[in-house]
Amino acid sequence: MTTTQDRPQTRTPRPRKSRTHGREAAAGWLFISPMLVLLGLFLVVPVLMAAWVSVSDWSGRGSPFSSDVSFVGTDNYSALLSEPGLAQSDFGRALRNNGYYVLFVIPLQTAVSLFLAVMVNRRILRGRGFFRTAFYFPSVTSSVAITVIFLFLFSTTGAVNKALSWLGVNGPSWFSDPGGIIHVALRGLGVDTPPAALAEHGLLGNSWWDWLSGPSPAMSVFIIMAVFTTSGTFMLLYVSALQNIQGEIEEAGIMDGANGWQRFRSITLPMLKPTTFTVLTLGLIGTWQVFDQIYVGTQGGPAKTTLTPAYLSYTSSFQNNQWGRGAAIAFVLFAIIVTMTIVQRILLRERTAVPRRRRFYPDGKDER
Partner 1 sequence: MRTTTRLATAMTAVGALTLTACGGSGFDDDTSTEDAAGRSISVLIGSSGDAETAAVTAAVDAWSAESGVDATVNVASDLSQQLSQGFAGGSPADVFYLTNDTVATYASNGSLDAYVDGLANVDDFYPNVLDSFTYDSEVYAAPKDFSTLALIINTDLWAAAGLTDADVPTTWDELETVAAALTTDTTVGLAISPEFARVGAFFAQNGGWLVDEDGTPAADSPENVEALTYVKDLMAAGSLKYATDVGAGWGGEAFGTGAAAMTIEGNWITGALTNDYPDVAYTVAELPAGPAGKGTIQFNGGWGVAADSPSKDDATALVEYLTQPEQQLGFSEAFGVMPAVLSAADTWKTDNPDLAPFLEGADYARSIPSVVGISDVVEDLNAQLQALSSGDPQTILDSTQQNLEAIVP
| Binding region for partner 1 (CB under 8 A) | 57, 59-63, 68, 70, 72, 75, 85-87, 90, 155-157, 173, 175-176, 178-179, 301-304, 317-321, 323
Specify the residue, 273 or 304, whose C-beta has the smaller distance to partner 1: 304
How far is residue 297 from each of residues 10, 140, 315, 330, measured CA to CA in Å? 59, 19, 15, 21
Length of the chain, please? 368
In the complex, what is the shortest distance from the CB of residue 110 to partner 1, in angstroms, rounded to a whole number?
32
| DSSP class of 56 | B
Least Å distance, CB 320 to partner 1, is 6
Question: Nearest distance from residue 57's CB to partner 1, in Å?
Answer: 6
Three-state DSSP class for 201? Answer: coil
238, 244, 246, 252 alpha-carbon torsion, rounded to 10°: -50
**Which is closer to partner 1, CB of 2 or CB of 157?**
157
Q: What is the DSSP string of 1-28?
A: ---TTHHHHHTS-HHHHHHHHHHHHHHH
Which residue number, 60 or 99, has a Cβ lying nearer to partner 1?
60
Nearest CA to 299 out of 284, 314, 289, 287 is that of 314
Smaller CB separation from partner 1, 58 or 135:
58
Cα(343)–Cα(322) distance, rounded to whole angstroms? 32
Q: Minimum distance from CB of 122 to partner 1 (Å)?
A: 43
Residue 321 or 344 with smaller CB distance to partner 1: 321
Q: Provide the minimum distance between the beta carbon of 216 and partner 1 in the complex, in angstroms, as a whole number.
A: 10
- 229/313 with CB nearer partner 1: 313
Q: Report the helix count and the strand count for the chain, using DSSP H and E.
A: 19, 2
User: At a CB cut-off of 8 Å and minimum separation 6, what does 129 contact?
Assistant: none
Minimum Å gap between C-beta 132 and partner 1 is 37
